[in-house]
Amino acid sequence: MHLHRTIGFIKEQGVKAGVSLNPSTPLSLVEYVLQDLDLVLLMTVNPGFGGQKFIKTMLPKIADMRRMLEGKGLEVELMVDGGVTLDNIAEISRAGADSFVAGSAVFGSKDYKKTVMELKKKAS
């Protein structure tokens, strides 16, 4: 199915629309639909299983997407999923991410609440 048509269909249903990009997918593939999106999710691991290590070379991609969104004057949420930890969330936030998926970092900890609070603090 055509991406633009799919996004249009989703929006016609009265819900928000987002696009997820794998690490090897270039940003240029979604540039033409950014104005129609509410969310861009950048995968920073190759999808398949939890607990993978963050691909550090994704930091420039996050920054590039942030610049692309700002350059177009768009308020699209930029989310990052994959390998987000207490050790790297600040750097990911500085690169331009608005929100984060930190499954293993949270659910692999002994104190979920404490970990979430620390993640929030480091991301701000």
Q: Where are the domains of the chain?
A: 3-123
DSSP string, 66-88: HHHHHHTT---EEEEESS--TTT
Backbone torsions φ then ψ of 26, nearest 5 degrees: -70, 145
Whole-angstrom distance, CA of residue 36 vs CA of residue 4? 8
pLDDT value of position 47: 87
pTM of the model: 0.93
Q: What is the CATH number of domain 3-123?
A: 3.20.20.70
pLDDT at residue 17 greater than cutoff 90: yes
pLDDT, average across residues 71-83: 96
pLDDT at residue 1 greater than cutoff 90: no
pLDDT value of position 52: 87
Print burial letters for 17-28: b (CB count within 10 Å at least 16), e (below 16): bebebeeeeeee
Which tens digit of pLDDT belongs to each residue from 40-55? 999 999 988 788 899 9
pLDDT value of position 49: 77
